[in-house]
Amino acid sequence: MRTPKNRMYKLAPPCSRLGLLLLLGILFLCHPLQVQAQDTGQIAGTVFDNETGKPLPYANVVAVGTGRGAVSQADGSFLINGVPPGPQEVRASYIGYTLMSIEVVVEVDRTVDADFKLVPEAQELKTVEVRAERPLVEVDKTSTVRSFNAEELKNLTLETTLNSVVEQQPGITEDRGRLHIRGGRSDETILIVDGVRMKDVLSGNSESGSISARSVAEVDIITGGFNAKYGEALSGVIETRLKDGTEDWHGSFHYETDHVISDWETDHGEFQLSGPNLILQGIQNLFGLGGETPTFFADISGEVTDTNLPSIGDLPGRYLNSSYEDNFFGGFKYGRFFYPRANNAWRGVFKTAWKLGPKDKVSATLTKSLSFSEGFGDVDIADIDRNNYTYPWVWKNRLDHYYTFTHDQNSFSSTWQHTYGVKTIQTLRLSRFFTSTHRDVAGKHWTEYDLSQDRDFPYQYYENDPYFIDYGDAPDYRDQYVETWGLTGDWAWTPSNHKMEWGFHSQVEEVQFLTINAASVVCDSLSCSKPLGDEFDLFRVYPTTGAFYLQDAMEYEGFIARLGLRYDYWFPGEQVERLVNEANRPTITEGLKDDFYKDTNGIFGRRFKGHLSPRIGISYPISQRDHVFFHYGHFSQRPAYFYVYAKSGSQSSEAFPRIGNPNLNPEVSVQYEIGMGHQFTNTMALKLTLFNKDIYDYPTSTTIVIPGSTTGRSNYYIYQNIDYARTRGLELELKKRRTNFWSGSVAYTYSVSKGKNSDPNALRQVQEAGGDARETELEEIFLWWNRPHKLAGWLDIRFYEDEQPPKWLGIAWPKDIGLNIYYMIRSGRAYTPQTVDGLESGQKYSRNGPFDSTLNFTLTKGLSFWGKRWEVFLQGWNVFNHRTPRSFDWATGKKYKLGEGSLDSPFENPENLNLSDEELIDVAGYEVGPDQTQEEVATGIRRTIQANISRYANPSYLDDPRHFRLGLTMEW
């Protein structure tokens, strides 16, 4: 929350950081070299004589309406750079030959093939039109990239955001709502939207759930071998380009609900509009400016649901309430309209572009994502145990006294592209990214919380089952945000058989974190002696980060090599340097201070760290349909800032506090992959990839024992770069392009992920549970998201409006209908085998629980009403209702069952409730004390049994059940 009441006053960033950013920007703006845009594509091909088959040199080839073109070389080959993405008409002409046009679809940072066979003009044939598609095996690729355009995204079985598309891909595992790419942690992926790096540097999270899938024009999911242009990611890159506007007016309305079939109380609506930007068009006409018509694209959507779990919506007259104030709208405070259900998400996109002429284009993009929820499944960076599904089952009857989670994320980017010649363009971008998370109870300030607890009252006054909470509010209050401003420049130069690219990104950041345990706050009616309590953390820091990169793609007689080098730098900030120099804390030792100055460098009076990452990719096309490729690279990303700055601005007296380490180094990954692709026909291809990934310098909490301590208990935990992990695996994918009305894909992934620890707080959990945190793991263990096997496939059957459907199985299928089916089966969740007494009987996470499977589908039917096209659809998730356990008994490897496995004690057997008082006391091994009655002792045992029955009735222990939605879309 950004109000003076509970947030520190805003401080200006240090001038040195802003000056550094401006200096870098000026240097690159003044750079004289010619450049190539990064959000354009290429068209390559050869011009032949249709009769002789010989190449035609010096033919003129142009991409119509783009100002881009080329002249064919002596071997007839040509290459057109800087072509805007989307459908393009390519035209080839040669004296004495008939003009020929080919329609192609250009995609960002890709080369589309377009070969011409010109006919001698004497034959007087008409212009020939050919439609080209991207080959299933792109023989020039040296990494694993899966791309989807708007039409493909529309046809896939998906939810409202990109997350559902990402998690379907080979090599990607979804576990407890978090995505792991090739065995990496969930914070090792970066989402890029129209050039903006949308990453929460405090927690490391960067997920595609904030973007509506219907607003996306194209998405690249890079799971291995990403080039030097990309950084701050160890496992994957999700690069998204939003839809552009149109010169004509177009729009759509989309609505879906589950009220008719399911009972999750879900409603989702989305509205899109695109057309000429009337404001810019007015400026264009007023000042007589040239260029094409300025356009815009807008998308606004909202989804509200009570989910399948008991929620605040089940409590009559109760609803969420948040005190969050949105500075994006001038301190606006959201009312009940924005959170009518337990989970409420709102998203918006606005994008405008103006091509000023053949050499210049400017564009701007604005995105906004806002959600209010009870945090089902959310995991916070400050939480101790993150290997769980965070559902507040114990608060079931008092969810209005539990937290309201508010997530706010918005971004802005302004981009200028300029063409210097036929081959070269430059792209400069100014961007801002903001993300905030706020947690409170019913919109209260932490000093207003009800701190009473059940234990303060005799059990006779409990209103509900003894397991559930009857009094008080949940104790935590949190407020955190990240704001970044970035300046980016990307250049490329494409001489013959080369594509050289270089660029920079410079970013200033403001990060604030506040967490308070209200139960430790001491206040009376007049004042507070401990307004922040004994357990809190509060810091605000101003790091500066950036990177430079250089890469070259070379081609020689079909052999392709991509060489790249990237340097990432990080200025932790003046606050860290001051903290190290003061050295007035037990955690800031002389050794740590010496290490800080050894591990950092100085410039402009500030200390910084850097990492150089070489990358090399090789592709050898065996034929036009086959290739093998290899990629080797080093990758790095800064640790989540919580591990660096925790407790840097405060000291509290909580037990076992976690202290940030100002000298943490970036996490580093060394990866290689080798793969091959074989295209059987024009419509079917097979791809195989083998990969290995080693990650070093993971931060983990380590103990600092107070000097003179006589026990194994520790007073402090500080994060150190000592953990590591390794993943090995393979991906096999068979894909068929649409022919005979159907397309499909089937993919198998096998991978094994092991490391020192799955969580940075593993030792802290041991200590909190009463163990000795100095007893660390001596060997590699499996990671908790390790699921070795995954088999997934999709099938799409579709008859378009202008097609004549066939007769299958004697059935005359209707026009304008489509069915998409997705099926996935994979290994169950990893667990540590235990005895019924809770003792480990095997290596940590060495076994997998019950297998996980799901079948989803989307059935659509197009209709025409009132001159508009309508589409009705039915969507289904987990059609077979296979509810895999999220949490289960580690003694049996199956879902919890009272009276069996680890739950076989007398206090967990519901049948004991039927025993007499005397029998129950005997079975429990209790005795009646001198000041007790038999009834009192038996009542206490029965309450314990009832509490255990309620505890293991938690519905979140199983995955979501079968679910259906009906919907309607109208386009014009």
Both structure tokens of 571 = 């200025």
Give bridge partners of residue 677 from the DSSP assignment: 627, 687
pLDDT tens digits, 937-951: 998 899 999 999 999
Contacts 24+ apart (CB under 8 A), 769-776: 772/712, 772/713, 773/703, 773/712, 773/714, 773/717, 774/703, 774/705, 774/712, 774/714
Domain-by-domain residue ranges, the chain? 15-26+247-307+332-705+713-877, 41-131, 144-244, 901-951
User: Phi, psi (5° rounding) for residue 472?
Assistant: 80, 175
Instruction: Tell me the C-alpha distance between 176 and 170, whole Å.
Output: 18
In angstroms, the first-to-last Cα distance of the chain is 41
Tokens of 484: 């970044």
pLDDT at position 132 is: 56
C-alpha 470/C-alpha 382 separation (Å) is 26
Amino acid at 112: V
CB 184 within 8 A of CB 175: no
875-933: pLDDT as tens digits = 999 999 999 999 999 999 999 999 999 999 999 999 999 999 999 999 999 989 888 89
Question: H/E element holding 593?
Answer: helix 590-599
Query: Which is more confident, 176 or 487?
Result: 487
Task: Give the per-residue pLDDT at 457.
Answer: 78
Task: Tell me if domain 15-26+247-307+332-705+713-877 and domain 41-131 are identical in fold.
Answer: no
451: nearest Cα among 394, 391, 524: 524
- Identify the band that residue 23 occupies on the pLDDT scale cut at 50, 70 and 90: very low
**Candidates 3.30.160.160, 3.50.50.60, 3.40.50.740, 2.60.40.1120; CATH matching 41-131:** 2.60.40.1120
Q: What is the mean pLDDT of residues 600-623?
A: 93
Calpha distance 67→81 (Å, rounded): 11
- 8 Å CB contact between 610 and 601: yes
Q: What is the DSSP string of 539-574?
A: EEE--EEEEEEEEEEEEETTEEEEEEEEEEEEE--H
| Sign of the torsion angle spanned by Cα atoms 710, 716, 722, 728 | positive
pLDDT over 50 at 398, yes or no: yes
pLDDT, tens digit (0-9, with 9 covering 90-100), for 894-910: 999 999 999 999 999 99
H or E element in which residue 514 lies: strand 498-517
CA 527 to chain centre: 44
Residue 295: CA atoms inside 13 Å, Cβ hemisphere, count? 17
Distance (Å, rounded) from C-alpha 454 to C-alpha 774? Answer: 35
Quote the CATH superfamily of domain 15-26+247-307+332-705+713-877. Answer: TonB-dependent receptor, beta-barrel domain (2.40.170.20)
Amino acid at 543: P
Query: Which amino acid, residue 913?
Result: L
Closest Cα partner for 76 from 101, 49, 110? 49
Q: Which residue has the tokens 């007398």?
A: 906
The Cβ of residue 357 has, within 10 Å, a number of other Cβ atoms equal to: 13
CA dist., res. 78 & res. 114, Å (int):
10
The pTM of the full predicted model, rounded to 2 decimals, is 0.86
Average of per-residue pLDDT across 27-45: 55
**What percent of the chain stands above pLDDT 90?**
59
Return the SS3 of 583: coil
- Please, which pLDDT band fits residue 218 given cuts at 50, 70 and 90? very high
189-193/236-242 β-pairing:
parallel
Most confident of 20-24, 207-211, 456-460, 630-634: 630-634
Helix (H, G, I), strand (E, B) or coil at 615: strand
Question: In the CATH scheme, what is the code of domain 144-244?
Answer: 2.170.130.10
Percent of the chain surpassing pLDDT 70: 90
Alpha-carbon gap, residue 939 to 916, rounded angstroms? 11
Using alpha carbons, select from 533, 514, 523, 635 the residue that is nearest to residue 184.
Answer: 635
User: Any residues with CB less than 8 A from the CB of 578 and at least 6 apart, and which?
Assistant: none
| Interval 295-315: pLDDT, tens | 999 999 999 999 999 999 999
Q: 292: closest CA among 307, 304, 280?
A: 280
